[in-house]
A and B are shown apart, each in its own frame.
Chain A
Amino acid sequence: NAGVMQNPRHLVRRRGQEARLRCSPMKGHSHVYWYRQLPEEGLKFMVYLQKENIIDESGMPKERFSAEFPKEGPSILRIQQVVRGDSAAYFCASSPQSDRGSNYGYTFGSGTRLTVV
């Protein structure tokens, strides 16, 4: 039973390019959460998606960032026109269709480390 799969593990982009980060949830999970982590800091919530729906994007920057979770395929976090400040580790987590609320631990992927040069 594969865990949460993220790819690529490392991504290097030049300023102004686009970055596409992929997250495949655990089998049977239909909720996906994206977090960003800057060096030496804890994770910061970005967005919560269910299949074909954005539930909460309150942590997403207003411009250049978008996320989707299509009916088929992985969830995608897309960053357009990347800047140096976007360099960070991006993690996703997933949970089952019937989220058990706070009495439940999330499974995280290994992350994508984005470096903007």
Chain B
Amino acid sequence: DAKTTQPNSMESNEEEPVHLPCNHSTISGTDYIHWYRQLPSQGPEYVIHGLTSNVNNRMASLAIAEDRKSSTLILHRATLRDAAVYYCILRDSNYQLIWGAGTKLIIKP
């Protein structure tokens, strides 16, 4: 079973920031927090990952709570192309990714 909890869906307006939450209350000290997204009819795409500190890359930012029991993926300025299902995944040294149902992000023009 997935060790993360995400809302089923979220809506946002185009060109506004989007904050996608993820709860992972049973996270262990060695678990990394990974985010992937899946556009319609596409394979999953790696977005970002982190361990303790907040992370930024060209796609998004990842804010990790101090106790690490939750995290938030931030899209700074959503576009229609960001409409996808976003998956939050905990990963230890195991190569397996355990996927939940993710959050379906709907972007309104």
- Is A108 engaged at the interface, CB distance under 8 Å to the other chain? yes
**Residues in chain A near residue B94, CB distance under 8 A:** 102
Selected contact of A101 from candidates B44, B45, B93, B96, CB within 8 Å? B93
Task: Offer 11 A-B interface pairs, CB within 8 angstroms, sorted by A.
Answer: A59-B96, A101-B93, A102-B32, A102-B34, A102-B93, A103-B32, A105-B34, A105-B47, A108-B44, A108-B45, A111-B42
- Is B65 engaged at the interface, CB distance under 8 Å to the other chain? no
Selected contact of A102 from candidates B46, B48, B92, CB within 8 Å? B92
**Residues in chain B near residue A113, CB distance under 8 A:** 41
Chain B residues with a Cβ closer than 8 Å to the other chain, count: 29
Contact between B44 and A43 (Cβ–Cβ < 8 Å)? Answer: yes
Interface centre among A95, A99, A102, A105 (most CB of B within 10 A): A102
The binding surface of chain B is classed by DSSP as loop
Q: Write the residues of chain B forming the contact surface with A, with a CB cutoff of 8 angstroms.
A: 2, 30-32, 34, 36, 41-49, 51, 87, 91-102
Contact between A105 and B43 (Cβ–Cβ < 8 Å)? Answer: no
Contact between A42 and B49 (Cβ–Cβ < 8 Å)? Answer: no
- Is A14 engaged at the interface, CB distance under 8 Å to the other chain? no
**Residues in chain B near residue A40, CB distance under 8 A:** 101
